[in-house]
Amino acid sequence: MIHATFFSYRLDFKEPSGTSRGVLRQKESFFLQIIEDGQEGWGEVGILRGLSADDTPALETQLSWTAKNIHLGLEELFAANQMFPSIQFALEQAFSHLKNGFCHFPSDFTLGRASQAINGLIWMGDQSFMMDQIEQRLAEGFKTLKMKIGAISWNAEKILLKGIRERFSATELEIRVDANGSFELDNAVKVSGYLSDIQVHSIEQPIPAGNNAALAKAVRLMQIPIALDESLIGLFSLEKKCQLLDDINPPFIILKPSFIGGWGGSNDWVTLAEERGIQWWATSALESNVGLNAIAQWVFTKKNKIPQGLGTGSLYTNNIPGPLQVLNGEIKMRNDANQGWDLSVLRSNILKQ
């Protein structure tokens, strides 16, 4: 006999974290639990309010239907949730956990023998706050920094970027910037000239998603490579995914499994990108350690040497304790992937239902 349930869980940030959509103090997730023959499987529904394609009033109704029909199995439920990519990813995780524990993709990574390079994230804020973060990330040993831009004046952001590059050459430290669609085309082209001068690696989503013609021009005119992020959200068919890549031809795409249909959806994007010579990396969508673990293990199997965006496990005061750790700019397991988990906070929420 198999049954399932779900509940909402709010992750509390240790410090307010600035984004282009405001300051985050909490992040809502849902957790799906499957029980079969005394075994449990957990999956995280990792939405971001205001950004996820499935951030709709229908999400909880769909989650309830999915839990009630868990007997249909992963394949049928995955197809039934095409418009709810975060539920698709939770289903993949939960059915895998039911079978394999938290060791979704056995490898040297899950045994704690190998690590994956990641970037250090610099949140938006005033100049002094951002500089403090930069100093902290450098002290932590990161060799790649991702800095969000567009929150303060461009002149102030230029000073920050210049200060980093004066201390570290491009061979010593890779710099990425994430604009979250904050520029118009003309400004994006102008900004790219300075970013090229200081050897910035790439810029994420310089122009808002949906304006494919402008993004295609940006790819041609900007002086540093573009990485598409938000543009991938809400594209559910292979036809639309192909059209996006063919219309814009970006140098990079960024995969957030919770936004694009989990491992299955991410694999589709990887295949399409590699067929076209487009490179990619993955980032978390601020999931707890449950979702982060699922993404990190999947990424490792791809043997992608580009530093990934997976350094979010230490953001919360009430994260789900697990074996993931970040050392010297790399994420790895303290020990075996099935050891070191404390699911008591999740189980206690089930009892409250």
Q: Do domains 2-102+343-352 and 116-333 have the same CATH topology?
A: no
Alpha-carbon distance of 210 to 244, in angstroms, equals 10
CATH 3.30.390.10, applies to 2-102+343-352: yes
Alpha-carbon distance of 307 to 133, in angstroms, equals 19
Per-residue confidence (pLDDT) for residue 64, from 0 to 100: 97
Alpha-carbon distance of 246 to 244, in angstroms, equals 6
Type of residue numbered 241: K
CATH 3.40.605.10, applies to 116-333: no
pLDDT at 45 over 90: yes
Alpha-carbon distance of 147 to 133, in angstroms, equals 10
- Three-class SS state of 29: strand
Alpha-carbon distance of 166 to 267, in angstroms, equals 39
Q: Which two tokens stand for residue 285?
A: 């969508």
As a whole number, mean pLDDT of residues 177-185 equals: 92
Per-residue confidence (pLDDT) for residue 18, from 0 to 100: 66
Q: Which residue has the tokens 């999956």?
A: 43
Q: What is the pLDDT of residues 87-144, one digit of tens each?
A: 999 999 999 999 999 999 999 999 999 999 999 998 877 778 888 888 999 999 999 9
Sorted by where each begins, the domain ranges of the chain are: 2-102+343-352, 116-333
Q: What is the pLDDT of residues 264-308, one digit of tens each?
A: 999 999 999 999 999 999 999 999 999 999 999 999 999 999 999
Per DSSP bridges, beta strands 22-36 and 39-45 are antiparallel
Q: What is the pLDDT of residues 184-242, one digit of tens each?
A: 999 999 999 999 999 999 999 999 999 999 999 999 999 999 999 999 999 999 999 99
Q: Which of 241, 256, 302, 332 is catalytic?
A: 256
Q: Which of 27, 146, 148, 332 is catalytic?
A: 148
Q: Is 148 noted as a catalytic residue in this protein?
A: yes
